[in-house]
Structure 1
Amino acid sequence: MATVNAAVLREFGGALQVEQIELDPPGRGEIVVQIEAAGVCHSDLHYLQGDLQCPLPVVPGHEGAGRVVQLGEGVSGDIAVGDRVALLWRPNCGRCANCVAGKPIMCEFGPVQARSGGLLDGTTRMSVDGERVHHLLGVSCFSERVVVPERSVVRVPDDIPAAVAAIAGCAVITGFGVVRNVIGACLGEPLVVLGAGGVGLAAVMGAKLAGANPLIVIDVDEAKLQLAAELGATITIDVRDGDIVEQVLSHVPDGVLWAIEAIGRPETLNSAFRMLKPGGTAVAVGLGRVGQTVDVPINELVQRQKRVIGSLYGSSIPQLDLPVIFELYRSGQLPLDRLIGDTYPLDRIDDAFAALKAGAVGRSIIDPSTIQGVP
């Protein structure tokens, strides 16, 4: 049993506390990963605030990358000690009906980890003075080391920076993936992205590569809109300048074919629906509070044949999509470094979340190996 530093949440709405936790050895089919970088995501914030529920106490963090330092029994041999890996918060067993049908993001084991606060068998590998501590989505990367299923990692080439690998495993694969896997070819088609956070900006990069035109980005933050323009947006719209549907229709009077909602708010998803042209599709990507709903006018849905669909994790196959993302980054076609903001030591994690709530541009990164910047 190893002792490591980790950020622990003990009550919703409370502060994260850095504690020393005991990490059990890996079980069958599991590995231990030394975390090199962990992204600060809005979904983590939802859990911290209690908008999304998980068992407590818990070590949050679901967007991370690191190096394999130990293997449990029964590991397949595809992963070795020393390999660099990106962590996945939706593992896939490869055997259930959804996995066999080519929809591994809907694997039956994903909800098991989310509900139980454990790994694939529903049990945890962390404790403090005999008290079990839960995993968040089977990852919990706000920790120096984690135990995860082998099925929850994808190998990362050595020349990919740790922070890039971390955000690729969540924000990037979600935003880029929704264009690659849901929208597909959209050359010359009008497309809107609502929200210029990490996921939204990754969608902008994907839509630019796919040839969407005009490519419209909506946000309330001027700096984020400027970055969106630098990454490929042809039109940017500031929410503070008036009704966003009217603003979009002033540029594209017939409406847009695709609208990606990357915020998770009922009002913005409703706006996404209203700005569609006949036959258009609004793709909901952002998560909201448990129980939130959105109003959709039935007659407009039917008579104009509009659609509202959801996409989890970019509807991706991570083992196929992440290598593509890494290669596009290498070639300069996905400038993912532009998405990365400040790096914080583990014991300043609350500062990182405060920056997120304040609208910081760029994905904040936690380095769990440092305390106040001292290794």
Structure 2
Amino acid sequence: MRAAQIIEYNKPYQLCEVPVPECGDHDLLVEVFAAGFCHSDVQVLQGQFVADLPMIPSHEPAGRIVKVGSQVQDSWKVGDRVGVLNFKNACRTCVGCLQHLRRHSKTDPRFCQRRQMAGFKHDGAFAQYMLADPETTIPLPDGISFEQGAPLMCAGATAWGALQKLLPDVQPGEAVAVAGIGGVGHLAIQLAKAMGFKTVAIDNRDEGCQLASDLPAHLRPDQVVNSSHADAHKTILDFTAGEGLAGIVVCMDSVEANAWCVQQLGARGVMVPLGLPKEKWRFDSEAMVFNELTIRGSYVSSAEQVKDMLEIVAEKDIRSHLTILDFDQIPDVAEAFADKSRKGRLVIRIGKDNTN
């Protein structure tokens, strides 16, 4: 099968031919039709997540099941349209698995200490076929294309998980901002709007502000703020009648940007930072203590949460702004991602679905 691999960190992906992975008794074999590329893929390519090379990257796949393992207990069948989350194959015996089992009466591969991470440390989606864990494979509604579905497996799942972390402290009708209107942020704004929040889109780039302004009317933010402008803080205060934001999801790894975002919160506000900077976070201790702020970590949505998200996505017609590349363009995808004028998500069309 065709695939792209990381052969050496900080070098372009190499296109190659590799064997189709063997579908084990507990696996699903998925034919990949679309696979996304995001900031985490850049970090993988730079060696921030150490893996045994060569490795097939990308953790945002969408496609169809072509084989079901003999011991798979779920009702999966050949031909099902699916998206696949990157975390898989929980061991069920480590501290993370047992702790989650005790608290929630079931295991969760997100917190397994021995989990596999497709596209990060194990083979992912830049290939014609990939193996999937039935527990972290998600049915893809017919109204969502493979190209639109792929980014939802990471960008959408990350945005949705962060917004869920605002609850119950922040309620619909309160003011929630999304800072950083890129691939994750422009989905987060639409999802926040669909959840009933008063929404503020924040970016220091004209491209990000324009992307937010160009969203469909029913999903467009109530306020767009360019944080590089001197009156940005005043604009937010005016929008919130002087109270400050009830919540903010920050889709950037800039330490300075996150520190600024904390200052936009009102009393008992909640911030969810999603970036992974090489440096350590630096937050204003006085603002945190005297305003009783909460800074809450968020990894990514669970499989059950992603299913809920997809219902909202289909119902509200939430869409990513896409730049679609062909498989042969994979070696140039990191360069395309770095283009400052790019908007939204990058998706690679891996193959063509001929079943329709």
TM-score (norm 1): 0.81
Distance in 2 (alpha carbons) for counterparts of 1:27 and 1:71:
9
Give, as a single letter, the amino acid of the residue that structure 1 aligns with 2:103.
A
| Aligned match of 2:270 | 281
Give, as a single letter, the amino acid of the residue that structure 1 aligns with 2:187.
A
* Partner SS state of residue 58, structure 1: coil
* Residues 182-261 of structure 1 mapped to structure 2, 5 A cutoff: 182-184=166-168, 186-213=171-198, 215-229=199-213, 230=215, 231-242=219-230, 244-245=232-233, 248-249=236-237, 251-252=239-240, 253-261=242-250
Contact 1:93 1:99 (8 Å CA) reproduced: no
Distance in 2 (alpha carbons) for counterparts of 1:47 and 1:94:
24
Distance in 1 (alpha carbons) for counterparts of 2:228 and 2:70:
56
* Residues 1-375 of structure 1 mapped to structure 2, 5 A cutoff: 4-91=1-88, 93=90, 96=97, 97-99=99-101, 101-102=103-104, 107-109=110-112, 112-114=115-117, 136=120, 138=122, 140-184=124-168, 186-213=171-198, 215-229=199-213, 230=215, 231-242=219-230, 244-245=232-233, 248-249=236-237, 251-252=239-240, 253-289=242-278, 292-313=279-300, 316-318=301-303, 320-331=304-315, 333-336=316-319, 339-359=320-340, 360-369=342-351
Contact 1:7 1:19 (8 Å CA) reproduced: yes
Give, as a single letter, the amino acid of the residue that structure 1 aligns with 2:151.
I
Alignment gaps of 5+ in structure 1: 120-134, 371-375
Give, as a single letter, the amino acid of the residue that structure 1 aligns with 2:329.
R
| Farther off after superposition, 300-309 or 244-253 | 244-253
| Farther off after superposition, 54-63 or 234-243 | 234-243
Q: After TM superposition, give the deviation of residue 181 of structure 1 in Å.
A: 4.7
Alignment gaps of 5+ in structure 2: none
How many residue pairs are counted as aligned between the two chains?
A: 339
Give, as a single letter, the amino acid of the residue that structure 1 aligns with 2:328.
D
* Partner SS state of residue 18, structure 2: strand
Distance in 2 (alpha carbons) for counterparts of 1:53 and 1:71:
30
* Partner SS state of residue 22, structure 1: coil
Go from structure 1 to structure 2 and tell me whether the alpha carbon gap of 1:149 and 1:327 turns closer, same or farther (over 3 Å shift). closer
CA RMSD of aligned residues (A): 2.6
Distance in 1 (alpha carbons) for counterparts of 2:292 and 2:27:
47
Go from structure 1 to structure 2 and tell me whether the alpha carbon gap of 1:100 and 1:209 turns closer, same or farther (over 3 Å shift). farther
Superposed CA deviations along residues 152-188 of structure 1, whole A, max 9, x for unmatched, are: 3112233431112212211112213322354355233
Identity of aligned residues (%): 25
Contact 2:57 2:120 (8 Å CA) reproduced: yes
Contact 1:98 1:107 (8 Å CA) reproduced: no
Q: After TM superposition, give the deviation of residue 308 of structure 1 in Å.
A: 1.2
Go from structure 1 to structure 2 and tell me whether the alpha carbon gap of 1:150 and 1:139 turns closer, same or farther (over 3 Å shift). farther
Distance in 2 (alpha carbons) for counterparts of 1:94 and 1:148:
15
Give, as a single letter, the amino acid of the residue that structure 2 aligns with 1:197.
G
Q: After TM superposition, give the deviation of residue 94 of structure 1 in Å.
A: 9.5
Give, as a single letter, the amino acid of the residue that structure 1 aligns with 2:247.
W
Go from structure 1 to structure 2 and tell me whether the alpha carbon gap of 1:52 and 1:162 turns closer, same or farther (over 3 Å shift). same
* Partner SS state of residue 33, structure 2: strand
Give, as a single letter, the amino acid of the residue that structure 2 aligns with 1:204.
I
Distance in 2 (alpha carbons) for counterparts of 1:293 and 1:202:
26
Superposed CA deviations along residues 83-130 of structure 1, whole A, max 9, x for unmatched, are: 11110112374953315534866644365324xxxx7xxxxxxxxxxx
